[in-house]
Amino acid sequence: MHVEAVELRVIALPMVAPFVAAHGTVSSRTAVLVRILGTESEGWGECAALPEPTYSEEFVDGAYLALQELLVPRLLATDGTVTATDLGSAFADVIGHPMAKASIELALLDGQGRRSEISLARMFAPHSADPVATVPAGVAIGLLATPEDLATEVSTRVAEGYGRIKIKIAPGRDIDFIHAARDAAGVHIELSVDANGAYTLDDAKMLAELDDFDLAYIEQPLAADDLLNHAELARRISTRICLDESLTSATVTREALDMAACSVVCVKAPRYGSWVEAASVLDHCAGLGIDAWVGGMLDGGIGRAANIALAAHPGASLTGDIAATDRFFTEDVCAPFTVSGPSGGGTITVPTGPGLGISIDAVALSKLTLRSTIIRR
């Protein structure tokens, strides 16, 4: 794709309710959008960075600045046609900022797909059979005030069709809450918990109590940089450990698996800094017979479309964070994704159009935009 200009926007998606996790609360989902304008097509990307640096060091305003001052100028300085695989060398001297880098790569992939009339799902798994038409719907529920509140929320989501429920936990808001969630979900619903690194190895005895709840896994129980203690915890509990924040690259993911720090992998392309690399991690997991799933970051419609396409990869063996748009937002920049199917067996349709397979609503985009700029060659 020959890039002529790049448009950056910060949008604000109105939320149904604040989302609370151990790493903080998101009350307003601001996000950076990237639009690459080429001579033959355009492409859209979404930066997954949260409004504040509570999940990782990246945040919306910082990502916008990194894109504007560092990454986009390097992209525009390249000669001729640029593909997603060229970005590694173009950004080689910029340390960090993986989510910002991934947003540019996604926009390029969308543009390439539009031009060649290939869907993102096909691009992520080019050597597999035709991509699946739907992926199972999974939802994440933030920290709530009481177990009773959580039970009500779980019952609501199960009735909407979600067959996988993930709940956030934190010290003092764990066993009673998990008990309430399991009772509300029933035995046929896949239930998992996400600690966002809120515990230490000293909590191993308490975490062993999770073995009684038939959980699919516990996600990121310990700190992101604590692979050794994750491996030790895995020896002390029966519940499988899934890593999320710890897995910052394909190399680190392979190391974590080799040292038995986890037996389930959460694949988040923005955290790797590359959607192409995320697809390669799913290839690797599939080759080893390791369960993996696609994680989310309170994504808007653009990021959600990409995650759904990635979740169609055959290596995504478990249900991921693939929820309907209206679970989190009252408005978006594209048509909403919805859950269809019976209770506990709901699915979301994988976009089949070129690239992301979505259309941007220009009126909604203008309404939801806080600021924007266009950077040209």
The whole-number pLDDT of residue 374 equals 97
Q: How many domains is the chain partitioned into structurally?
A: 2
CB-CB neighbours of 45 under 10 Å? 29
Q: Provide the CATH number for the domain around residue 268.
A: 3.20.20.120
Side-chain-facing half-sphere of 320: CA atoms under 13 Å: 32
- Which residue of the set 101, 205, 268, 367 is catalytic? 268
154 and 237, same domain (yes or no): yes
pLDDT-based confidence at 232, cuts 50/70/90?
Answer: very high
- How confident is the model over 306-332, as pLDDT tens digits? 999 999 999 999 999 999 998 899 999
**CB-based contact 278:125 (threshold 8 Å):** no
Distance CA 260, CA 238 (A): 13
Distance CA 133, CA 336 (A): 17
Cβ within 8 Å of residue 179, ≥6 positions away: 147, 213
67 and 99, same domain (yes or no): yes
DSSP string covering 191-215 = EEEE-TT---GGGHHHHGGGGGG--
Catalytic annotation present for 168: yes
Side-chain-facing half-sphere of 130: CA atoms under 13 Å: 4
78 and 42, same domain (yes or no): yes
Mean pLDDT confidence for 49-67: 96
60 and 78, same domain (yes or no): yes
Q: Provide the CATH number for the domain around residue 86.
A: 3.30.390.10
Burial 162-172 (b: 16+ CB within 10 A, else e): bbbbbbbbbee
Q: Is pLDDT above 90 for 19?
A: no
303 and 268, same domain (yes or no): yes
Q: Is pLDDT above 80 for 342?
A: no
- How confident is the model over 184-199, as pLDDT tens digits? 999 899 999 999 999 9
* Amino acid symbol at 262: C
- Distance of alpha carbon 341 from its chain centroid, rounded? 23
The whole-number pLDDT of residue 341 equals 79
| Residue 138 structural domain | 123-349
Nearest CA to 13 out of 28, 34, 33 is that of 28
Q: Is pLDDT above 90 for 116?
A: yes
Q: Decide the pairing of beta strands 218-219 and 190-194.
A: parallel
299 and 203, same domain (yes or no): yes
Q: What is the largest CA-CA distance in the chain?
A: 60
The residues pairing with 374 across neighbouring beta strands, listed in sequence order, are: 7
Q: Please, is 235 exposed, middle or buried when counting C-beta atoms within 10 Å of its C-beta (0-12, 13-18, 19+)?
A: exposed
Catalytic annotation present for 166: no
Distance CA 341, CA 135 (A): 11
Mean pLDDT confidence for 242-259: 97
Token pair recorded at residue 241 = 């450990």
The whole-number pLDDT of residue 187 equals 87
Burial 297-326 (b: 16+ CB within 10 A, else e): bbbbbbbbbbbbbbbbbebbbbbbbbbbbe
pTM (2 d.p.): 0.95
- How confident is the model over 354-375, as pLDDT tens digits? 999 999 999 999 999 999 999 9
26 and 111, same domain (yes or no): yes
260 and 197, same domain (yes or no): yes
52 and 82, same domain (yes or no): yes
68 and 109, same domain (yes or no): yes
- Distance of alpha carbon 89 from its chain centroid, rounded? 25
58 and 131, same domain (yes or no): no
For 257, 274, 278, the CA distances from 81, given in Å and listed in that order, are 37, 19, 23
102 and 147, same domain (yes or no): no
Q: Please, is 17 exposed, middle or buried when counting C-beta atoms within 10 Å of its C-beta (0-12, 13-18, 19+)?
A: exposed
- Which residue of the set 101, 166, 168, 205 is catalytic? 168
